[in-house]
Amino acid sequence: MEGLLRQPEWRIIDQSTVGRHFHALQSFGTDDTLCASVGSGQAPATARTWVHHNTIVLGIQDTKLPFLKEGRRFLEERGYQSIVRNSGGLAVVLDEGVLNISLILPETEKGIDINRGYDTMWQLIQNMFAEYNQHIEAREIVGSYCPGSYDLSIAGKKFAGISQRRLKKGVAVQIYLCVNGSGSDRATLIQQFYQIAKKEQQTKFTYPDIVPEVMASLSELLGTHLTISDVMLRLLTQLKNNSDHLYAGQLNDLELELLPGYYQRIIERNEKLDDM
């Protein structure tokens, strides 16, 4: 599992402190841009970190909810904007207590098996919090929002979810880490969203029945207050341990050229959502 974490060099692009004016749509456009540059060999393996203010990120299936407009209106009334992402999964909560990490890796000639991508992120998180001697499992937590086979949990309570985006021989393995705050409060918000957006109507797709008690933040699970900065330091330590050269960087010239196009694509996808 350590294989993909080990890279000749790691570039870190830290956007965790950019603030409220950094829109989540920019994040997904940026990851697509990085997939294209890293996949073509024009940039090294890159870790990007990001935090967004009160945003609900919807999955493609969420856009098919029968009363989606009502659900989005409810979220807006609660102070959350909602967008739809271009990677898999269902609705998740982003706020100042949630750190997102994207590992953008080049596909080798044989390609990166999808489970190997997930395992790499799982291993990274285990390494980051090894000192707490807590068993971090990767399995679906029924009752969580955006459930999947690589939900990360401690003692049956989910604190993170992993997704992947593959584009032009680049792989973005993305995780949201609930660092602090109440995991169950976040889950309650998504529970209420589905109750409003689906009601009792039968749908072809089975949406999760949220059980707020099965979700928690790392601070709650580890019994210590963690900040985004604390977790960033742990991430940097692990990346440094797994490369000959770790450096802070920004988008290169190619990426700055590619970004507007990828950003526009996700804007257009979300404009369609507004028309629904």
Residues designated as active site = 146
36: its two tokens:
């294209």
Neighbours of 241 (CB within 10 A): 12
Give the amino acid at 193. F
Cα separations in angstroms, 273 against 92, 105, 198, 199: 17, 30, 16, 19
CA dihedral 188, 79, 203, 214 (to 10 degrees): -20
| Phi–psi pair at 190, nearest 5 degrees | -70, -35
Report the alpha-carbon angle 137-138-141, nearest 5: 95
Neighbours of 224 (CB within 10 A): 11
Running DSSP on this structure, what letter comes out for residue 177? E
Compute the half-sphere exposure of residue 199: CA atoms within 13 Å on the CB side of its CA: 6
Residues 6+ apart with CB under 8 A from 140: 147, 148, 149, 151
Report the alpha-carbon angle 205-208-214, nearest 5: 165
Give the amino acid at 115. N
* Secondary structure class of 61 (helix, strand, coil): helix
